[in-house]
Chains A and B, each alone.
Chain A
């Protein structure tokens, strides 16, 4: 046990033990495992599964590298202890299962899925240090990571970001194709870090958008294809406090946002010991938690293979169908969306003033100014799978979705601060706590889903399942029976029921099915 090995100690497997699925066996070699480590314990003792390695990386970071004693991603396997404290009756929960710090967990999931994570928070809270750690986990040396990190500043040009044409070629070349480009090295890296991205000038942000969105860079008609990579961006203030306004398309490319929480002064001793011992965590990352390119590739495949049960998926569908609908935005059914109103430039207060007498507190859609995009939904599914994988599960649980959702939707679902929901007693806090609000909205959506008993009684799912079995061999009379079923259902729903987002989406789904059967009947007549 040398000096460094203490800091490089990786948590012992299993880091998240699961109940044994088969008769338990005992290894007599375990007799000699215990509180005293054997010399050479830090050497590779077999290769753990990649999810275990990811958890080991997490625990190494939280135990040794980043002082983040926050467990805001809470899991319970039994009733948790909770306490109500303070004048505002705040609830403190002591989770009964392994819980995590989002500030470390989210970057790690981003690393594993090669997506894009934005760190926000005040200066000096470890945002850049965390990003550097991710680079080191990706197999790069600290020096490489530091050199490749792009620091946003007001004078940053596209050439600073992407590279320069060779000066000699600029003078001698007869054709633009002959001008060679000296591409910046960071473009080829698997972990890309943009520090203070909201200080980058707007024009350079557009070049960055191409790299982030389409994975290539372009200068003078020359193209550089970038490899798939994990992106880590930092911003001191994500609400427009940077030097330049971040263009919306760039913000939209960011998959998750994680906030650096405040330092707890009770951990000052840890800071002191770092100073006294001259330890920089990024320089002592144990090699057991460093991932090769192939390992990250495999991890991505494994994450994609994690199953999303129908019951969980349905609740995500139900949740996301709450927000886009806006009854007064359009005349034709398909255009009754907030996006229609936004594209037309209609003022928000004009829309809300025309509202149709729905219960604006109960209707979750009234809490937001926009809906959930396809990109966001895909991101949500990927991260939910990644979280399940990280926890050692092959199937996504509802709690995985509940925990990850606020970080994915943080900047994507805009709350309407004027909505009556926020004026309700106890809800004012959600105006500033975006994470808490999103989790609350998801909980309300799930409660509504349960109230409507949609797990057991969902006629649209039944009709869709019937359709998904295929039209091959379906007789004309059967197709007509199905058409009548659809029409009858819409007829029932139209009798005095108010329109809510989820009903709107269901009605459009029924219209889709109706059209498919109608087309099928037309085709049958030609046979």
Chain B
């Protein structure tokens, strides 16, 4: 049963709320009144109760923002029964309700932002929305304002696998309290943030969680991308190429830009033009050799017998990507 305050707000502006529903239904004809009602009386009500306890004076504004966001979510089947992304509703319950005091300061910005962030994590192959929700549930309440909350979300998103946001997340970390940053990054060594930041900039494979000093060994660090039939990206075993610091992958007639670091790997749609342009430049730097199932670099040798013959290899300064005809995954090897 929804809280009395929640019901009172809905009643007091009934015409306006009904008009918003009608407008949303124009955009999303599948918006079902029953499903939306259910969403209101469960997920939104939970947030309303949390806000009422923390900032009762802001409940009206929070309700309007929550109502609008809910219309869009349910209208697009991103919330409610049969939703493709149940983690979005989980984020309402665990992140928004838990951070009610700060959400109440800017509900029109923070509610959609949390929904969009979780949606992006959940729709990016290899990213970990649960990890983001866990971190934000624990730390979101420590934020005093909306800007800090949003920066925290950016850093957590990088940590949860969105490698392409690495540079922006490092910049966001500069503006966050050091203890918060070190907690999110799982630092086991008590290095001051500026020094740790340098290490992150020196190598995308620097791991603050289990290393006392940066490793310099050439080592396999990740296998990314899988067969489309298992929910991955690739229809056929991919091939790779590189242009400067950018790695590209191709599978059948699809092309991707690959970004990867210690926290994850993401693929972004690319074009045949980008791939072919990259293919025209040397794919491997001087001193790096690939033969059969082996690679040799700077006197070190690695063998990948399980891959069979390496079909393609490409490298940037820090990472070597190799593929084989026996697997739909790309093996990433840290060079520095």
Please determine whether A31 and B157 come into contact, CB atoms closer than 8 angstroms.
yes
Determine if B281 is an interface residue (Cβ-Cβ < 8 Å): no
Please determine whether B246 and A38 come into contact, CB atoms closer than 8 angstroms.
no
C-alpha gap A210/B76 in the complex (Å): 54
Determine if A26 is an interface residue (Cβ-Cβ < 8 Å): yes
What residues of A have a CB within 8 angstroms of the CB of B19 in the complex? 2-3
Determine if B336 is an interface residue (Cβ-Cβ < 8 Å): no
**Which residue of A3, A34, A37, A273 contacts B20 across the interface (Cβ within 8 Å)?**
A3
What residues of B have a CB within 8 angstroms of the CB of A458 in the complex? none
Please determine whether B273 and A26 come into contact, CB atoms closer than 8 angstroms.
no
**Which residue of B24, B27, B117, B167 contacts A31 across the interface (Cβ within 8 Å)?**
B117
- From residue A1, how far is it (CB to closest CB) to chain B in Å? 5
What residues of A have a CB within 8 angstroms of the CB of B111 in the complex? 36
Determine if B244 is an interface residue (Cβ-Cβ < 8 Å): yes
Determine if A124 is an interface residue (Cβ-Cβ < 8 Å): no
C-alpha gap A29/B162 in the complex (Å): 12
Classify chain A: how many residues form its interface, as a range: 20 to 34
What residues of B have a CB within 8 angstroms of the CB of A30 in the complex? 120, 165
Determine if A35 is an interface residue (Cβ-Cβ < 8 Å): yes
Determine if A248 is an interface residue (Cβ-Cβ < 8 Å): no
Residue from B78, B112, B153, B257 with most neighbouring chain A CB atoms (10 Å):
B112
Determine if B109 is an interface residue (Cβ-Cβ < 8 Å): yes
- From residue A229, how far is it (CB to closest CB) to chain B in Å? 34
Please determine whether A28 and B274 come into contact, CB atoms closer than 8 angstroms.
no
Closest-by-CB residue of B relative to A6 is B23
Determine if B171 is an interface residue (Cβ-Cβ < 8 Å): yes
Please determine whether A39 and B112 come into contact, CB atoms closer than 8 angstroms.
yes
Please determine whether B112 and A32 come into contact, CB atoms closer than 8 angstroms.
yes
Determine if A86 is an interface residue (Cβ-Cβ < 8 Å): no
- Total A-B Cβ pairs within 8 A: 110
Determine if B187 is an interface residue (Cβ-Cβ < 8 Å): no
What residues of B have a CB within 8 angstroms of the CB of A20 in the complex? 271, 274
C-alpha gap A19/B276 in the complex (Å): 12
Contact with B along A27-68 (1 / 0, CB 8 A): 111111111111110000000000000000000000000000
What residues of A have a CB within 8 angstroms of the CB of B113 in the complex? 31-32, 38
Contact with B along A400-411 (1 / 0, CB 8 A): 000000000000
B49-57, B63-71, B195-203, B302-310 - interface stretch: B63-71
Determine if A7 is an interface residue (Cβ-Cβ < 8 Å): yes
Please determine whether B117 and A38 come into contact, CB atoms closer than 8 angstroms.
no
C-alpha gap A157/B86 in the complex (Å): 68
Known: A27-B168, A28-B165, A28-B172. A35 touches B76 (CB 8 A): yes
Please determine whether A23 and B29 come into contact, CB atoms closer than 8 angstroms.
no
| 22 A-B interface contacts by CB (under 8 A) | A2-B19, A2-B23, A3-B19, A6-B24, A7-B23, A19-B274, A23-B243, A24-B257, A26-B164, A26-B259, A28-B169, A28-B171, A29-B168, A31-B162, A32-B116, A32-B153, A34-B112, A35-B72, A35-B116, A38-B109, A39-B112, A277-B26
Interface residues of chain B, those whose CB is within 8 Å of chain A, are 19-20, 22-24, 26-27, 29, 65, 68-69, 71-73, 76, 78, 108-109, 111-113, 115-117, 119-120, 150, 153-154, 157-158, 162, 164-165, 167-169, 171-172, 243-246, 253, 257, 259, 268, 270-271, 273-274
